[in-house]
């Protein structure tokens, strides 16, 4: 058993987590151990996870819980700071961060609806310290139709994060798009089974630069990507039309994209089977 799972089992209060979470958290949180950090968890229930985090991170960590149930306030007797509030309400977050200030780790284990997850993410991102992270649990709800989640849909948390992926790529000048608030803040996004991690950069991010190691070597480089592929492939293509496209048409042409899309569709079909 890893340390965080032992902390989970030893908690004096009830808690529930998916079994794959512990190895993920063990890896993600190594850099925060025994550091003076602030951790906020949304959706603490009976408080079992708060004791887990306290035991795992050590005595220097400040643990804050957010919960709808007003009885959760009783956990303040155990040394935790507790806030009652609705995570889908932007005003709650504005008041919360006005009191708390910036934090290192936000763990969203709240109601798991699209609105709750997305509101928590957007309203919190500006209050995560450099090098910190937002962790959204139970993101499998983005693919669930039952229990009121009404997914998959274009409004799911997972689909929202694909827009963040596009924002990250805006830092590349080839996209010819202006970088925005998200482009400057988010270093990377990690996807796991039922967990999404938003990593906040240590520094303000700007446009990437295309670097060359030696300009004098540039003309010696022969780029084969857009050359015709005659006699390069030895195998026989069953479809005569597709074979003709591959052997005679430029890779940038409309006809070649027909070939590319036909192959990609086969791979997509494998995902749906």
In this prediction the pTM is 0.85
| Structural domain includes residue 138 | yes
Query: Average of pLDDT values for 203-216?
Result: 91
What is the token pair recorded at 46?
Answer: 């009976």
Domain total of the chain: 2
| Structural domain includes residue 238 | yes
Biggest CA–CA distance in the chain, Å, is: 76
193 to each of 31, 66, 197, how far by Cα in Å? Answer: 22, 24, 11
| Structural domain includes residue 209 | no
d(CA 147, CA 32): 35
pLDDT in tens, 64-108: 999 999 999 999 999 999 999 999 999 999 999 999 999 999 999
Displacement of CA 245 from its chain's centroid (Å): 39
Q: Does 123 share its domain with 224?
A: no
pLDDT exceeds 90 at position 246? no
Q: Does 70 share its domain with 151?
A: yes
Boundary residue ending a domain (147, 167, 200): 200
Boundary residue ending a domain (200, 231, 258): 200
Contacts of range 163-170, beta carbons closer than 8 Å, 24 or more positions apart: 164/189, 164/198, 165/189
| Structural domain includes residue 153 | yes
Tell me the percentage of the chain whose pLDDT exceeds 90. 73
Domain that holds residue 139: 3-200
What SS3 state is found at 200?
A: strand
| Structural domain includes residue 120 | yes
Q: Does 51 share its domain with 85?
A: yes
Q: Does 64 share its domain with 133?
A: yes
Q: Does 152 share its domain with 246?
A: no
- The DSSP line for 216-227 is GGGGG----TTS
Q: Does 54 share its domain with 166?
A: yes
Q: Does 29 share its domain with 151?
A: yes
| Structural domain includes residue 107 | yes
Q: Does 223 share its domain with 193?
A: no
d(CA 16, CA 240): 57
pLDDT in tens, 32-72: 998 999 999 999 999 999 999 999 999 999 999 999 999 99
pLDDT exceeds 50 at position 231? no
């Amino acid at each position: 058993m890893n340390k965080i799972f032992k902390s989970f089992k030893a908690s004096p209060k009830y808690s529930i987590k998916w079994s794959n979470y512990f190895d993920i958290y063990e890896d993600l949180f190594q850099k925060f151990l025994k550091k003076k950090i602030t951790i906020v968890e949304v959706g603490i229930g009976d408080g079992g996870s708060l004791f887990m985090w306290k035991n795992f991170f050590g005595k220097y960590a400040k643990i804050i819980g957010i919960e709808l149930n007003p009885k959760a306030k009783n956990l303040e007797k155990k040394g935790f700071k507790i806030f009652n509030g609705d995570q889908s309400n932007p005003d709650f977050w504005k008041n919360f961060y006005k009191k708390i200030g910036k934090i290192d780790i936000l763990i969203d284990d709240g109601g798991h609806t699209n609105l709750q997850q997305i509101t928590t993410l957007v309203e919190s991102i500006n209050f995560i310290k450099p090098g910190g992270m937002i962790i959204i649990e139970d993101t499998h709800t983005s693919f669930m139709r039952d229990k009121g989640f009404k997914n998959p849909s274009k409004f799911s948390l997972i689909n929202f994060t694909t827009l963040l992926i596009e924002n990250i790529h805006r830092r590349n000048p080839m996209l010819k798009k202006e970088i925005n608030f998200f482009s400057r803040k988010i270093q990377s996004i990690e996807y796991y089974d039922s967990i999404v991690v938003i990593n906040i950069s240590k520094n303000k991010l700007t446009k990437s630069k295309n670097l060359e190691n030696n300009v004098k070597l540039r003309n010696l480089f022969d780029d084969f990507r857009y050359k015709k592929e005659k006699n390069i492939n030895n195998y026989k293509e069953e479809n005569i039309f597709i074979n003709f496209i591959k052997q005679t048409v430029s890779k940038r042409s409309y006809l070649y994209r027909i070939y590319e899309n036909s192959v990609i569709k086969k791979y997509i079909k494998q995902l749906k089977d």
